[in-house]
A and B are shown apart, each in its own frame.
Chain A
Amino acid sequence: MTAQTKKTLFPTSPKPFVHPYFGGMILGIVLFLALLLTGNGLGSSGATSRFVTAVTDLFNPTHVDRTPYLLKMAGGDKNPLDDWIVPVYFGALLGGFSSGLFSGRLKFETTKGPNISNQTRWLMSFLGGVIFLYGARMARGCTSGQALTGGTTLSAGSWVVMFAIFGGAYGLAYFVRKLWN
């Protein structure tokens, strides 16, 4: 491998992102193939929930057996990680990494608005993660599992969830504009 081909394969300066419509079309084809082959769509928040349940089950199986919500995933000899969403989750991590690798975007950094410190951004992203996943579990799916997948299969409930997500974000956007602008 010459230095030149090495540079194009793993560039050091980031390549531009693909056009949104093109990215969306590819994502749509991936989603369609998932539905066609497996009857399941895309998702990830279910895996997050299964990981914490697996850890809880490791330390306190009696607690799992007493909590109906956890029982569904990990009751008795059920393994909470024995679900299609778990390989999808790890695949997504690897896929994101690979795309970053091929486009020169692998870099330790913090993406944030111009007027806040790194520390504020870190705190906010952590809090955002807590809030988002709490809501995702309540709505039985996140932007991928509900909005994207349910939107595609025309699930009435998923369209409601999708509008609620955008409603919540637009409703609060003005009040937290300092975070981003």
Chain B
Amino acid sequence: MNFPLPEFVAVSASNPWTYVVFGLIGFAFGFTLEMSGFGDSRKLAAQFYFTEMTVLKVMFTAIVTAMVLLFGSVGLGILNFNQVWVNPTYLSSGILGGLIMGVGFIIGGFCPTTSLASASTGKIDGMLFMLGGFVGAFLFGETESLFDNWYTYSGYFGRVTLDQVFNLPLGVVVLLVVLMALFMFWGAEQLERIFGKKDLSKEPKMRIAGAGVLFAAALAVVFIGSPSLTNKYNALKFTRTETIEQADADPIVNTVTYTADEMLENRLVFISPAEAFAAKYNQSMNPVYIDVRPEADYNLYHIEDAVNVPLDRLGEVVSVLLTEPPTNTVFVVMSNDESDAVQAWKYLSASSVLNVYILEGGINNWIAFFGSEEAFQPNPNAGEDELGYIFPVALGNRYESCSPNPQEYEELDFEAKIELQLKRDKSGGGCG
């Protein structure tokens, strides 16, 4: 089984079970918060006067429990981490917004979800916090345009996880976070003893055993490690619909599942220059052309709008490709011929980038198709996946065939290969 389940990445009226699943998740969430005492603002505020550290204990136990289970499942290949929503990093708005939230927390005594647990059990202050929340959210929506640029771009780093920041293996970061949490629990109990006059000898001994289990589980996560790109590539599945036309009946539509290698063998991911060009004027998709050739080749000749990401630097842009673009984005990778583009396709697909296609025959084929009138000089000595034409100067995309005239090529005939795979709506994740 491949998790997360594609049926449940978003709610949809066509599948009412999605509402049930998310409703149940919410139910369990609210239930747990209430039974931990988060319906009472005094318990929450006590955290900030060191008399009772329940907030920290509950929150960090939840984080480390979920984190160990999450990265354990990722390591075992049950769960695809690239399909899990990871809050993108916006440093500026994150820091300022966080500080503002802290102010709201200590004044109001709740955070948004705990106010739900509080209001639902009849606490009047919880209800008023909820009510204030609506006003706050409204005010933000009305004032966001005043600082839209700052909000959208300042300190934006995309999908970044701590292992990338510290350049450590994921499992090691998991272990370090667990150790930090255990240390914080110890510290929290000491603070409760000093400021809250709490008798620690009455605390259940089970918690020591729990800490041991947690530590062992974190060690196991280090040991399991993360699945390699090769394993991820081999596990890839592509679903295609194939239509069989019938003379006097409705066409039969079959759904076929292919592995990544089968997709390449059957050339289902190779799109003709005509289709790559037509995608630009297709309202239903948003093509992004990625030129994986060395910069020198790119400077000699490249398609208009193509971005140059040499093959060996592809890893640097994966996080952007995973978070940034809208759901109908189609990535078209290209090299001079095909072999580098195929490598790029394998790499991006294994990294869970969806809707990646290869320009059939590469730039050479593009030039042969669109540039026949420009009389480029063929290069007879061109080797495998090298530029098949000689360019005396580096004019980049200033040739006519780099941006063919859409009116001239309005009626292009091609076999359509692009089939959009639905991707989760990135803007809908987290609290956002």
Using a CB–CB distance below 8 Å, which chain A residues touch chain B? Answer: 17-21, 23-46, 48-49, 51-53, 56, 67-70, 72, 82-100, 103, 105-113, 118, 121-122, 124-173, 176-177, 179-181
Query: Which of chain A's residues has its CB closest to B101's CB?
Result: A135
Q: Does B45 contact A133, Cβ atoms closer than 8 Å?
A: no
**Residue among B30, B113, B162 making CB contact with A99, cutoff 8 Å:** B30
**Contact, CB under 8 Å: B22 / A84:** yes
The distance in angstroms between the C-alpha atoms of A111 and B115, with both chains bound, is 11
Please give me the 7 A-B residue pairs with the lowest Cβ-Cβ distance, nearest first. Answer: A128-B108, A168-B102, A91-B26, A129-B132, A145-B431, A164-B98, A24-B61
Chain B's nearest CB lies how many Å from the CB of A104?
A: 10
- Per-residue CB contact flags for chain B residues 289-321 toward chain A (1 = under 8 Å, else 0) read 000000000000000000000000000000000
Contact A124 B160 (CB under 8 A): no
Query: Which of chain B's residues have a CB closer than 8 A to the CB of A83?
Result: 10-11, 428
Taking the complex as formed, is B183 at the interface, i.e. its CB lies under 8 A from any CB of chain A? no
Provide the residues of chain A in CB contact with B4, threshold 8 Å.
Answer: 35-39
Contact B122 A109 (CB under 8 A): yes
Q: Which of B98, B102, B431 touches A160 (beta carbons < 8 Å)?
A: B98
A126 to B101, CA, bound (A): 14
- In the complex, A135→B117 CA distance in Å? 20
- Whether A157 lies near B132 (C-beta < 8 A) is no
Kindly state whether residue B165 has any CB partner on chain A within 8 Å: yes
Is B105 in the interface zone, CB < 8 Å from A?
Answer: yes
Contact between B25 and A157, CB atoms less than 8 A apart: no
For B65, the chain A residues whose CB sits under 8 A away are 24-25, 27-29, 31-32
Contact between B22 and A41, CB atoms less than 8 A apart: no
Q: If A92-B33, A135-B103, A155-B161 touch, does A122 touch B128 (CB 8 Å cutoff)? A: yes
A28, A45, A127 — which one has the most chain B CB atoms within 10 A of its CB? Answer: A28
B99-A157 in contact (CB<8A): no
Closest to A83 in B: B428
CA distance A139 to B87 in the complex (A): 10
Residues of A within 8 A of B110 (CB): 125, 128-129, 132
Using CB atoms and an 8 Å cutoff, list the residues of chain B in contact with chain A. 3-5, 8-11, 13, 18-37, 39-43, 45-49, 53-54, 57-67, 69-70, 73, 78-79, 83-91, 93-126, 128-142, 144-145, 148, 151, 157, 159-165, 170, 173-174, 177, 185, 204, 207, 210, 424, 427-432
Query: B111–A132 contact, CB under 8 A?
Result: yes
Instruction: Verify A146–B122 contact, CB threshold 8 A.
Output: no
Which residues from chain B contact A129 at a C-beta distance below 8 Å? 104, 108, 110, 115, 128-136
Quick one: closest A residue to B6, CB to CB? A39
Query: How far, in whole Å, are A154 and B218 apart by their CA atoms in the complex?
Result: 14
Q: Select which of A46, A56, A109, A132 is within 8 A of B430 by beta carbon.
A: A46
Given A126-B129, A145-B87, A155-B86: A136 in contact with B97 (beta carbons within 8 A): yes
- Tell whether, in the assembled complex, residue A157 and residue B89 are in contact, meaning their CB atoms are under 8 Å apart: yes
For the complex, give the distance between the alpha carbons of A105 and B40 in Å: 10
- Selected from A134, A144, A156, the residue in CB contact (under 8 A) with B165 is A156
Residues on B with beta carbons closer than 8 Å to the beta carbon of A38: 4-5, 8-9, 21-22, 25
Across the interface, which residues of B come within 8 angstroms of A95, CB to CB? Answer: 26-34, 117, 120
How far does the alpha carbon of A42 sit from the alpha carbon of B157 in the complex, in Å?
Answer: 22
Assess the A27–B87 pair: CB atoms within 8 A: no
A73→B85 CA distance, assembly (Å): 18
Closest Cβ–Cβ distance, residue A15 to chain B (whole Å) = 9
When the two chains form their complex, are residues A181 and B113 in contact, meaning their CB atoms are under 8 A apart?
A: no
